[in-house]
Chain A
C-alpha cells in the first residue's frame, strides 16, 4: 500500500468529481423535459401540442355535409374545384355550431375581381376581365351565379340555407 501513502488529496479530488457528476445527473433529470429525445434531439410532446391546436377553416367536406343544394350546383359548374371557404372565409365556428355564427355574404365586387381581373401574369387560359369595360358597375351576380358562373347555368338557389 506504499503507493497510496500520500495520495489522499487525489482521492478527495476524485470524490469531488464523482459528487459533481451526481449533482449534474440529478439536476439534468429535473430540467430536461420528460419527452426529450423520444423521437430525436427535441421535445416529442411539442409534436402533439401542434396537433392539438384548433382549426379555423372547417374544410369543404364539413360545408357539403349540410349545404347539399349548393354543393350539387357547384359540382356541375366552372367553380367545382373552388372550395367553399376560398370565398366565404374561415368558418369552422359555423360548422361546429351553425347558430353561433351566420357567415356574411361576400361582396362580389371585391371577391370576383380578386381572381378574375385581367393580368399579364395570370395563366392565359384563365378567364379574365377588365372590370370596368366588362360590367360597367353592374354587380357580378346580376348575370353570374357565383356557385356556377357560366351564363345560362342554373340560377342561384334563393338563399342557400342548409337543407
Chain B
C-alpha cells in the first residue's frame, strides 16, 4: 500500500490524539467508587448541636492538622432579643475543648453553629486560583492539589466563609476535603462519625435514596450567605437569621 499525502494528513492527527491519551494514563479510581454517581454535601442541624467539639477534635486527628488551624470549627452565638444584626460570637480554640459557661443569663438566644467548607458548586476559591491547584472534583468536593499550589493565598481571601488557611509548615493552602479518603471508601466523614447527636450528616445529593432529599423537603433548610450564589452544599437546618 502506498502512503499518500492524504494518508499522512489523516494519520498524523490521529497519532497525536492517541499519544495524548497514552500520556494521560488511566485514572486510578478506588474500586467500586464511581465519581460520576455522587454529588457530596453536608447537612448540619443547628437544633441538635451541643457544642461538644467532638467534630473539631476528630477532624484534627483524622487529618493531622497543626494546632490552632481548623478545617471545621464550632461557634457559639449569642443573639440578643432585640438586635439581630450584631450577635456576639465566640469560638475558643475552634470550640475544640468546649465553651465557657454562661454565668448571668443576659437574655437572648444562645446556640452553636458548626462551620466547615461548604463545598460550593460555584466556589469563589477555585475561580481565583491562578495555577489550577484547587478545583471541584467530579463528585462535588472542593480539593487542593498541594503539589501544585504555590501558596499565593488568593483562595484564602476569596472564600467568603473563611474555610481556608495557609498550612504553617507546608506553606500551601489547606482546607476540608470532606474526608475524601473516607467517603470514597464508603465511610462517612470523621466529623460525622464523631458527632454524638447526629447534627452533622454527610449527604449524597445524587443518591435518590439519601435521606437528605426528604429532609430538604420537610424542613426549612438554608445555606450560609445565599446572596453570594456560591452554590454552597453545607445545608443548615434551623439557622438563626443572625448567623453570618
A interface residues with partner B (beta carbon < 8 Å):
29, 33-36, 38-48, 50-57, 59-60, 79, 81-83, 85-87, 89-90, 114-115, 117-123, 126
Q: Looking at the assembled complex, report how far the CB atom of B3 sits from the nearest CB atom of chain A, in whole angstroms.
A: 24
B242 contacts the other chain (CB 8 A): no
The answer to whether B30 and A36 have CB atoms under 8 Å apart is no
Distance in angstroms between the alpha carbons of A84 and B67 in the assembled complex:
25
Q: How many A-B residue pairs have CB under 8 A?
A: 146
The answer to whether B190 and A48 have CB atoms under 8 Å apart is no
Distance in angstroms between the alpha carbons of A112 and B24 in the assembled complex:
53
Q: Looking at the assembled complex, report how far the CB atom of A74 sits from the nearest CB atom of chain B, in whole angstroms.
A: 12
Q: 8 Å CB contacts to A: which residues of B173-200?
A: 177, 180-182, 184-185, 187-188, 190, 193-198
**What are 7 A-B residue pairs whose CB atoms fall within 8 Å in the complex?**
A39-B137, A42-B134, A56-B190, A59-B188, A86-B194, A90-B62, A117-B101
B208 contacts the other chain (CB 8 A): no
B85 contacts the other chain (CB 8 A): no
Distance in angstroms between the alpha carbons of A115 and B25 in the assembled complex:
50
Residues of B near A53 (CB, < 8 A) are 180-181
The answer to whether A121 and B138 have CB atoms under 8 Å apart is no
Distance in angstroms between the alpha carbons of A12 and B147 in the assembled complex:
41
Residues of A near B138 (CB, < 8 A) are 39, 47
Cross-chain contact of B62 among A52, A55, A79, A126 (Cβ < 8 A): A55
Which size bracket describes the interface of B in this complex?
35 or more
Nearest neighbor of B199 in chain A, beta-carbon distance: A123
B39 contacts the other chain (CB 8 A): no
The answer to whether B111 and A56 have CB atoms under 8 Å apart is no
Residues of A near B27 (CB, < 8 A) are 35, 38, 44-45, 48
Distance in angstroms between the alpha carbons of A79 and B28 in the assembled complex:
39
The answer to whether A126 and B197 have CB atoms under 8 Å apart is yes
Residues of A near B198 (CB, < 8 A) are 81
Q: Looking at the assembled complex, report how far the CB atom of A53 sits from the nearest CB atom of chain B, in whole angstroms.
A: 4
The answer to whether A83 and B193 have CB atoms under 8 Å apart is yes
B233 contacts the other chain (CB 8 A): no
0/1 string, B208-220, CB within 8 A of A gives 1 = 0000000000000
Residues of B near A51 (CB, < 8 A) are 29-30, 33, 180-181, 184-185
Given A34-B24, A89-B61, list of 19 further CB < 8 A pairs?
A40-B136, A41-B135, A42-B148, A45-B27, A46-B145, A48-B28, A48-B29, A52-B181, A55-B185, A59-B187, A79-B196, A85-B193, A90-B61, A114-B52, A115-B52, A118-B101, A119-B99, A121-B110, A122-B112
Nearest neighbor of A59 in chain B, beta-carbon distance: B187
Cross-chain contact of A114 among B53, B182, B188 (Cβ < 8 A): B53
Distance in angstroms between the alpha carbons of A122 and B33 in the assembled complex:
38
Residues of A near B134 (CB, < 8 A) are 42
The answer to whether B181 and A34 have CB atoms under 8 Å apart is no
Nearest neighbor of B133 in chain A, beta-carbon distance: A42
The answer to whether A126 and B50 have CB atoms under 8 Å apart is yes
The answer to whether B181 and A55 have CB atoms under 8 Å apart is yes
Q: Which 5 A-B pairs have the closest CB atoms?
A: A121-B110, A46-B145, A53-B181, A42-B135, A51-B184
B243 contacts the other chain (CB 8 A): no
Nearest neighbor of B135 in chain A, beta-carbon distance: A42
